[in-house]
Amino acid sequence: MRDVKEVVEILRSTLQLGRRADSFTAETLLLGHVPEVDSMAVVAILTAIEDQYGITIDDDEMSAEVFTSVGSLSQFVDAKRGR
């Protein structure tokens, strides 16, 4: 999961978490735990990932599991980037 750090930066930026993101690790729970993660935020995160890596994400690939934790989101990004 080489992308954990980058994913934390994307979350910090799109959710405007500031220093709160400093404590984020792969184990940090997202959906249902970080109040900023609503549907608007999920779209913003997906768009930021697409923009940053120049990839396209299909909604069919999306599930609540992807947004469970920082680690699950990082794994998803890893897989999308073919690593």
Partner 1 sequence: MTAALPESTHRLELNFLQTGRGDLLATTWWPRQGQVREWLLVAPPFAEELNKSRRMLALLGQQAAVTGRGVLLVDLAGTGDSWGEFRDARYDVWLDDLLAAVHWVEGQGGTVTALLGLRCGALLAMELAQRVATVRHLLLWQPALAGSDVLTQFLRLRTVAGLTGGVEAKETQESLRRRLMQGETLEIAGYELTPELYAGVHSRQLASLVPARQVRIDWFHVARQPDAPVPEAILAAAATLAARGAAVQTHGVPGDPFWSTAEIAVCDRLLARTVACLAT
**If you write DSSP's letter for every residue of 10-72 in order, what string do you get?**
HHHHHTT-GGGGGG--TT-B-TTTSTT-SHHHHHHHHHHHHHHHT----GGG--GGGGSBHHH
Is 29 near partner 1 (CB under 8 A)? no
Is 81 near partner 1 (CB under 8 A)? no
Is 48 near partner 1 (CB under 8 A)? yes
Q: How far is the CB of 66 from partner 1 (least distance, A)?
A: 8
- In this chain, which stretch among 21-29, 55-63, 75-83 interacts with partner 1, using CB under 8 A? 55-63
